[in-house]
Amino acid sequence: MKTVQEFMSWWLKAGRPIRPPFVSPIHTTDIAYALCLYREGRYQVELYVCKANTETTRHRHPNIESISMYLTGNLSFAKEGEDFVDLSKFQIEKNDGTHFLLGRSVEANDSKEHALRVGPEGGAFLIFEHWKDRDPSSVTMHWDGELVGDKHAITKGDYVANS
């Protein structure tokens, strides 16, 4: 695989295998829990479950190409230089009982600035990642920008932005 898109396609077609790694599988911040569902080489899938009524600062993950896939709840993403996308009209249930946006993805983000806003329902999404210059841990730890709180600072540990 050469791109995060190829990895995402493979993972979905392979039946969405779940194989959390022993090393560095769970990370927490003040606004979210992250669980690595699958890791192989420099590719991984993380599940994020986000606290209601929260928002990240604008930030980036250097040398990581990623695609976020909507699962449920009320989430809005902002790309570099753009405002948050208003998804309120899509906060509806499909005939099968799932969220209308289930499985929709945000275009690939290759180290670009972005942000996340979570509405009153909370939210959950998958993030498919290709780590270009190091072994994966969590995008929560490899964060360039203002942190989201004290727990994030502890989780982030020794990684220093712009180093």
What's the pLDDT tens digit per position in 51-101?
Answer: 999 999 999 999 999 999 999 999 999 998 899 988 889 999 999 999 999
Enter the DSSP assignment of 12: H
* pLDDT-above-70 percentage for the chain: 96
Residue 54 placed within a domain: yes
Residue 163 placed within a domain: no
Residue 162 placed within a domain: no
- In 3D space, the residue among 38, 36, 60 whose CA is nearest the CA of residue 114 turns out to be 60
User: Tell me, what CATH number does 9's domain have?
Assistant: 2.60.120.10
Predicted local confidence at residue 157, as pLDDT:
62
Predicted local confidence at residue 160, as pLDDT:
41
Residue 34 placed within a domain: yes
Q: In the chain, what are the helix, strand and coil shares in percent, each to the nearest 5?
A: 10, 40, 45
pTM: 0.91
User: Containing domain of residue 31, as a range?
Assistant: 4-59+68-90+98-156
- For the chain, give the mean pLDDT: 91
Q: What is the DSSP string of 30-45?
A: SSEEEEEEEEETTEEE
Domains in the chain, number:
1
Residue 48 placed within a domain: yes
Predicted local confidence at residue 161, as pLDDT:
43
Enter the DSSP assignment of 86: -
Residue 82 placed within a domain: yes
Residue 161 placed within a domain: no
Which tens digits make up the pLDDT trace of 106-134?
888 999 999 999 999 999 999 999 999 99
